[in-house]
């Protein structure tokens, strides 16, 4: 199992340690997980699957709770707009 892996977040390649959650990777990348209906950038709040603030598009699937997902090699992640 590789110690580091690469994924794409909003088009940029990000390298993170194996075992990093997708929400943490988005924070590392400085990217919001979603944009609110009023246009505000949002990010993870609870980190345990309850608040849904960390929803993003993961491998083309919208509204994925990124705090509940671990990064995988080659994963693509986009801010949920
Ligand atoms: S941070 Fe609250 S559900 Fe993911």
Q: Residue ranges of the domains in the chain?
A: 4-79
pTM: 0.94
Span 10-64, pLDDT tens digits = 999 999 999 999 999 999 999 999 999 999 999 999 999 999 999 999 999 999 9
What is 4-79's CATH number?
Answer: 3.10.20.440
pLDDT at residue 1, rounded to an integer: 67
β-pairing, 76-79 vs 4-9, is parallel
Residue among 25, 32, 22, 17 nearest 79 (CA): 32
* Token pair 């990064």: residue: 71
Q: How many CB atoms lie within 10 A of CB 40?
A: 9
The finding on whether 54 has its CB within 6 A of some atom of ligand 1 is: yes
- Ligand 1 closest atom vs CA 50: 3
pLDDT at residue 77, rounded to an integer: 98
When pLDDT is averaged across residues 61-69 and rounded to a whole number, the result is 98
pLDDT at residue 20, rounded to an integer: 98
| Burial of 28 from C-beta contacts in 10 A (0-12 / 13-18 / 19+) | middle
The finding on whether 46 has its CB within 6 A of some atom of ligand 1 is: yes
């Amino acid at each position: 199992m590789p110690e580091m892996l690469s994924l794409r977040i909003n088009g940029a390649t990000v390298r993170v340690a194996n075992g990093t959650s997708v929400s943490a990777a988005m924070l590392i990348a400085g990217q919001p997980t979603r944009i609110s209906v009023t246009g505000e950038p949002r990010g993870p709040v609870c980190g345990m699957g309850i608040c849904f603030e960390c929803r993003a598009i993961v491998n083309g699937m919208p509204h994925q709770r990124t705090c509940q997902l671990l990064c995988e090699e080659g994963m693509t992640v986009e801010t949920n707009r």
